[in-house]
Amino acid sequence: MIKRQKVEVVALSSYEEEEEQFKEEKIWKVIKENKDLDLPAHEVMLVTVRCKKIANEKYADFSGNEERSQLEEAVQFGPISGFGKKLSSIFDTCLSEYDAQATYFDEGVRTRKRQQLEEKLLQLVQPAFQALLGHIRSGSLDKFKGAFDKALNGEEAFSVAARNCSESFMALFDEGCAGKIGGCLIKTGWKPF
């Protein structure tokens, strides 16, 4: 025969001894008296929520922008002239709209949420940027190979052909980046290589 015994379980070991300290009123009194609690002011919390909402709306507008979508789709098939300028314009418009709507809110919160919005927007466009860079890179490399082979077949010394072609096609790559990516590099801080 099995004896069954009743076992009492207490969640907080000191609850039975100090029951009064666990009452709701006591807890709130401790919270109110504790000046070390790092709770932001009510106004800061409201501003944070509002700026976050504005940033989310602007992100949704940017991600749903038809012109941006068309640019990103087109760049998958080949380089687009003025890609950086067009994308920068859409990017700047989005941030300007955020600034206009958040202008009267606390500067610290507004700036922090703007930076977060900017980072999210850059993450959204980075694949298109990388695709464009890949097209420019592969186009420059193909032209380099053709010119290098032609120089070697023309009896030019290997080192001279390598130096001349390298200089020429690095400049061509830089021009391609400047013409197609343009201001996008400055805004993002991204490097083309």
**pLDDT single digits (tens) 71-130:** 999 999 988 888 888 888 999 999 999 999 999 888 999 999 999 999 999 999 989 888
CB distance 114 to 99 below 8 Å: yes
CB distance 83 to 99 below 8 Å: no
Average pLDDT score, the chain:
80
- pTM for this structure? 0.66
Kindly report the backbone phi and psi dihedral angles of residue 181, in degrees, each rounded to the nearest multiple of 5, phi listed first: -100, -45
CA distance 110 to 113: 5
**pLDDT single digits (tens) 12-43:** 555 555 665 556 666 677 667 776 666 667 67
CB distance 102 to 114 below 8 Å: yes
CA distance 45 to 67: 35
Residue 113, number of CB atoms within 10 A of its CB = 23
